[in-house]
Amino acid sequence: MEALLWTIPALPFAGALVLILMGTRLSRSAVALIGVGSVGLAALITIILGINFISGKPTPPYYHQEVWQWFEVAGFNPSVAFHLDALSLVFIFVITFVGFLIHLYSTAYMAPDEGFARFFAYLNLFVGSMLVLVLADNLLLLYLGWEGVGLCSYLLIGFWYTEPANGYAARKAFITTRVGDTALAIGLFMLFQNFGTLHIQTIATEAPQLWSVGTQNAVIIAFLLLGGAVGKSGQLPLQTWLPDAMAGPTPVSALIHAATMVTAGVYLIARMHVIFDLAPAAQLTVAIIGAVTLLLAGCSALTQSDLKRVLAYSTISQIGYMFLALGVGAWSAGIFHFMIHAFFKALLFLSAGAIIISLHHEQNMFKMGGLRKLMPVVFWTFLIGSASLAALPLITAGFYSKDQILWYSLASERGNFWLYLAGLTGAFITGNYTFRMVFFTFYGEAKTQVSHPPGKLITIPLIILAILSLVGGFIELPHNFGHFTVFSDFLTSALPATSINETLGSLEWLFQVLAALVSLAGVYLAYLFYLKNPTLQNSLEHSGWAMSLHRFWYSGWGFDKLYDLILVKPFVFLATINKNDFIDKIYTAIAALTRAFNHGLARTQSGILRWYMMGIVVGALLIITLSLLP
């Protein structure tokens, strides 16, 4: 079965190629069949391969397939080769399965759009690039997939490119993530300099032999890898591109936030965990960045009025939880939350898309309301996704994945009280902004009429994702809930187990109860302010300090203004005064000369036969004259 490994990324690429070359000549049904079918087949092969992998328990614990030798230069000979272990299996399952549901949903969502074929071509390319990133057995191929998802995000965020704002958002995402990509590229150069290869398994084997814990090179490389992860996953201080990425169609947002782009940073850190284990300072920074980001993004989500921007800030916050888990060495907990987050975040974005197209593309929550009875399927699925995001205890998958992170942020050997407190505060904020969104959207008076209810192609993916958002958490239960740890046991062949401070072990139930109460308190506060007694909200709006804080959080803590002031404006100023320099004049002269030649040659195409005859005669005389010269 492992011989089929290459087909998993190849199928979406093949679909993209067909759609790029022939998409405009195909019917919409054929485009949908190719776009959805290629990812669906990849998902089917992933499931079959996964069953074979789990039941076969290969030794060593991975599948490896070399497709061809890429190139060889001075002993550097990376291959196009794929590596499937427990970690990459979890990722490709999420990418293909959730990606398939998003593709299926898109056939209805994008049906009226003129760029239907172009959309599915980009979407397939996006999925294929992410699969290459995850399955690559060497860092150069991983980097190829890394840049591929960057390009696809640019194409998809700016999909409706006739709107200048969309083009700006696409450029912003592309340029901001390039900052992190540059750090990652330098890190790869340093890894090659130290190991003479970019083969991931070789580096993982040799790094502990070459370096001791805290070695300078290990720390520097870990920080550079972290720079790449921060950019791609929208973490502090490169988080500003993600809320603006909402300019793209809603299925794109679902794909970026749930199954592809923003999870790349989480994967990179988990895949290179050996380097981070050797660099405790960098690993602690991962945890701190995660903790601070989850708080900052959560506060910003509290103030947004655009439904999609709430979800965007929510993603930044939840990725922060994953970083927090990775930073304290809770590797499997971080990956568990990644999987559960993919289910409920895809569900929330797709539900939001169903609402938006049913309300004449209205995205402002304050102009919605009353949808609970008008769109019952969307309401219940959105409610389930929200409950999982808010980690409502016992019944939602989000509770089990987030509870693990909170527990390990305190009880693991690399955890501490402050990281735990940040995570706990984030849980309160998450419950509050999530149900603020629910109450504004689905309760109260309807402010915008529903034009048409969503069809089955939209509701079926919602129902499937809603089921997963409820039951997905039961594959990994806390130690005091029966010690059912299928997920973390499965990952032990690829990621280290988490060590905990045994003195806290007996208190786990107490912290679970506390986490549950904090999440419920956030939900209750939202109920109190936005549903039961809205006058409390009104009194806050009349408070000067509250409104100042609201504006500050609404603007994303002023990061855009800061970057605009210290980076964008100086660069534009220098570019403006430099635009007519000597070098520019050379290029301008070349362009003018080319235009002059073009103009002169164009005049010879007059359509007057006698001029052509005269040209032939003059040319012949010149050739004869030149041939007679000594």
Decide if pLDDT at 342 tops 90: yes
Domain span at residue 387 reads 343-532
Torsion sign over Cα 38, 170, 259, 100 = negative
Is the residue at 95 inside a domain? no
What is the token pair recorded at 517? Answer: 């109460």
SS3 68: strand
Confidence at 580, pLDDT banded by 50, 70, 90: confident
Decide if pLDDT at 626 tops 80: yes
| Average pLDDT value for residue range 273-300 | 96
What DSSP string describes 81-145?
Answer: EEEE-HHHHHHHHHHHHHHHHHHHHHHHHTTT-TTHHHHHHHHHHHHHHHHHHHHBSBHHHHHHH
Rounded CA separation 351/356 (Å)? 9
**22 or 537, which is more confident:** 22
Decide if pLDDT at 299 tops 80: yes
Read off the pTM: 0.91
Lowest mean pLDDT among 188-202, 274-288, 608-622: 608-622
- Give the residue from 158, 149, 167 showing the smallest Cα distance to 228: 149
Is the residue at 462 inside a domain? yes
- Report pLDDT for 353: 95
Are residues 594 and 496 located together in one domain of the fold?
A: no
Length of the chain: 630
Are residues 479 and 599 located together in one domain of the fold?
A: no
Amino acid sitting at position 72:
E
Are residues 521 and 588 located together in one domain of the fold?
A: no
Decide if pLDDT at 352 tops 80: yes
Other C-beta atoms within 10 Å of 356: how many?
18
Lowest mean pLDDT among 276-280, 523-527, 622-626: 622-626
- Give the residue from 415, 460, 434 showing the smallest Cα distance to 520: 434
Give the burial class of 506: count Cβ atoms within 10 A of its Cβ; 0-12 exposed, 13-18 middle, 19 or more buried.
exposed
Summarised one tens digit per residue, pLDDT across range 530-549 is: 888 888 877 877 778 888 99
Look-up of token digits 């529903």: 450
Lowest mean pLDDT among 312-316, 329-333, 366-370: 366-370
Rounded CA separation 257/313 (Å)? 10
**534 or 591, which is more confident:** 591
Summarised one tens digit per residue, pLDDT across range 107-158 is: 999 998 999 999 999 999 999 999 999 999 999 999 999 999 999 999 999 9
Confidence at 34, pLDDT banded by 50, 70, 90: very high
| Average pLDDT value for residue range 586-600 | 91
- Give the residue from 391, 547, 372 showing the smallest Cα distance to 469: 391
Confidence at 439, pLDDT banded by 50, 70, 90: very high
Rounded CA separation 96/130 (Å)? 10
Amino acid sitting at position 116:
F
Rounded CA separation 264/225 (Å)? 12
- Report pLDDT for 320: 96
- Report pLDDT for 493: 93
- Report pLDDT for 2: 80
Rg for the chain (alpha carbons), in Å? 27
Give the burial class of 575: count Cβ atoms within 10 A of its Cβ; 0-12 exposed, 13-18 middle, 19 or more buried.
exposed
Rounded CA separation 33/58 (Å)? 35
Rounded CA separation 309/554 (Å)? 10
| Average pLDDT value for residue range 438-465 | 91
Is the residue at 385 inside a domain? yes
- Report pLDDT for 139: 96
8 A C-beta contact, residue 204 and residue 139: no
Last residue of a domain, one of 517, 532, 547: 532
Are residues 522 and 597 located together in one domain of the fold?
A: no
| Average pLDDT value for residue range 581-592 | 86
Decide if pLDDT at 262 tops 90: yes
- Count of alpha carbons within 13 angstroms of residue 238, beta-carbon side: 23
Are residues 518 and 591 located together in one domain of the fold?
A: no
- Report pLDDT for 459: 95
Are residues 527 and 587 located together in one domain of the fold?
A: no
Is the residue at 599 inside a domain? yes
Sequence-ordered list of residues with C-beta below 8 angstroms from that of 576, at least 6 positions apart, any chain: none
Confidence at 481, pLDDT banded by 50, 70, 90: confident
**Across the chain, what does the average pLDDT equal?**
93
Look-up of token digits 């949903």: 105
Angle at 400 between CA 396 and CA 402, to 5 degrees: 105
Last residue of a domain, one of 476, 504, 532: 532
Are residues 351 and 413 located together in one domain of the fold?
A: yes
SS3 of 326-345: the string is HHCCCHHHHHHHHHHHHHHH
8 A C-beta contact, residue 398 and residue 390: yes
- Report pLDDT for 143: 96
Number of domains in the chain: 2
- Give the residue from 371, 350, 525 showing the smallest Cα distance to 434: 525
8 A C-beta contact, residue 301 and residue 271: no
Is the residue at 65 inside a domain? no
Strand boundaries in 358-415, DSSP class E: none
Rounded CA separation 124/239 (Å)? 25
| Average pLDDT value for residue range 209-223 | 96
Summarised one tens digit per residue, pLDDT across range 408-423 is: 999 999 999 999 999 9
Are residues 359 and 495 located together in one domain of the fold?
A: yes
Decide if pLDDT at 238 tops 90: yes
Are residues 524 and 454 located together in one domain of the fold?
A: yes
Are residues 525 and 589 located together in one domain of the fold?
A: no
- Report pLDDT for 615: 87
Share of the chain above pLDDT 90, in %: 79
Phi, psi at 356, each rounded to 5°: -65, -45
Amino acid sitting at position 157:
I
- Report pLDDT for 350: 96
- Give the residue from 357, 433, 353, 347 showing the smallest Cα distance to 384: 347
Confidence at 577, pLDDT banded by 50, 70, 90: confident
| Average pLDDT value for residue range 75-98 | 94
Phi, psi at 64, each rounded to 5°: -130, 135
8 A C-beta contact, residue 303 and residue 553: yes
SS3 364: strand
Are residues 592 and 526 located together in one domain of the fold?
A: no
- Give the residue from 337, 347, 277 showing the smallest Cα distance to 491: 337
Are residues 490 and 351 located together in one domain of the fold?
A: yes
Rounded CA separation 122/120 (Å)? 5
Is the residue at 550 inside a domain? no
Is the residue at 593 inside a domain? yes
| Average pLDDT value for residue range 429-450 | 92
SS3 291: helix
SS3 of 48-83: the string is HHHHHHHHHCCCCCCEEEEEEECCCECCECCEEEEE
Look-up of token digits 């005269």: 614
Sequence-ordered list of residues with C-beta below 8 angstroms from that of 280, at least 6 positions apart, any chain: 213, 214, 414
Alpha helices of 136-261 — where are they, by DSSP H? 139-157, 164-195, 200-210, 216-232, 241-244, 250-254
Q: How far apart are the first and last CA of the chain?
A: 76
Summarised one tens digit per residue, pLDDT across range 398-409 is: 999 999 999 999
Is the residue at 379 inside a domain? yes
Amino acid sitting at position 373:
K
